[in-house]
Chains A and B, each alone.
Chain A
Amino acid sequence: MAGTIVADTIQDGAGNSTAMDNAIYGSAKAYVNYNGTGTPAINGSYNVSSVTRSGTGIYIVNFTNAMSDAKYAVAITGGCYLSVLGGFLGEYTTSSTTPNQRSTTSVGMFFQSGTSGAGQDNCTASLVVYR
């Protein structure tokens, strides 16, 4: 049965409590983990409908349910060796001011080789969104 519980704090059986804001804003609003070596192979997701490979090292993550706005925080990791070699992994952008693809419905990921500077696909790529 659908419904709403209104509360300021939540508490467990041992008496430990936390403000409801922690539960609301402290929980991830989306995540995805995939192997990005070639066509993406999805390992797990929450609130992510698809991952689009748009170029080597460039991936667009599409949300199942849109975010309330585009002011969310994104954490991106890659399981390969890019950071060790001075590569870049983060939000996809071709502008110094505007992250490409950041909207309420999708966000871009970019992985760059530290040696060539070119886009490079990454194994075990992950993205988490907080809002």
Chain B
Amino acid sequence: MTQAIIFTNDNGGVSVCIPTGELPINEVLSKDAPAGAIIVDDSTLPQGADSSFFDAWELSGSTVTVNFEKAKAIKLAQFNAKAVEEAQKRQLNTLAGIDNAVSDADFTASLTAGRASIASATTTAELVAI
């Protein structure tokens, strides 16, 4: 069982302070955390998928919850970043295909394939999993 010190930080989120063991946790509580911080068992903190929404955590009493609206914004930002990355990769592949075209037919085929590839960028397994 690992104990953690938690408190609401300046951004309205939750900070989680983990002692290294060099000092007793009560000493760490008074030295490294602001007034109002509390000690909890870390198993009471959001686990699994909810742990990836750390910036959406909010502290109410001694309970940490995930703010749904903040979590949605985090997920959308993750999706957008991945989508842009994937589209850029496909755009480069398309340009390479066009560059290597040796005929009008090759050129048109590369362009058509490239358009389709970029348009379907958000259907990759990686993005579908987000």
The residues of A with any CB-CB pair to B shorter than 8 Å are: 32, 34, 38-42, 45, 47-56, 60, 62, 64, 106, 113, 115-119
Contacts and interface: CB of A to CB of B under 8 A. Distances in A.
A50 B77 contact: no
B17 to A, nearest CB: 4
B77 A116 contact: yes
Contacts, number: 85
B81 interface: yes
B99 interface: no
Interface range on chain B: under 10, 10 to 19, 20 to 34, or 35 or more? Answer: 20 to 34
Interface stretch (B5-13, B90-98, B101-109, B114-122): B5-13
A54 B81 CA distance: 22
B4 A54 contact: no
Contact of B81 (A45, A50, A60, A115): A115
A42 B3 CA distance: 12
Contacts of A38: 51, 54
Interface string B33-70: 10000000010010000010011000000000000000
Most chain A C-beta atoms within 10 Å of own C-beta, residue among B9, B20, B32: B20
Contacts of B4: 39
Given A39-B4, A39-B42, A55-B55, A49 B81 contact: no
Nearest to B45: A39
A51 B17 contact: yes
A32 B20 contact: yes
Contacts of B15: 52-54, 60
11 contacts: A45-B21, A50-B19, A50-B23, A50-B32, A52-B16, A53-B15, A54-B13, A56-B55, A62-B17, A62-B31, A118-B81
Given A40-B18, A60-B15, A62-B28, 8 more contacts: A32-B20, A39-B4, A47-B22, A49-B27, A49-B28, A51-B17, A106-B32, A113-B81
B16 A39 contact: yes
Given A62-B32, A118-B81, A56 B54 contact: yes
B13 A45 contact: no
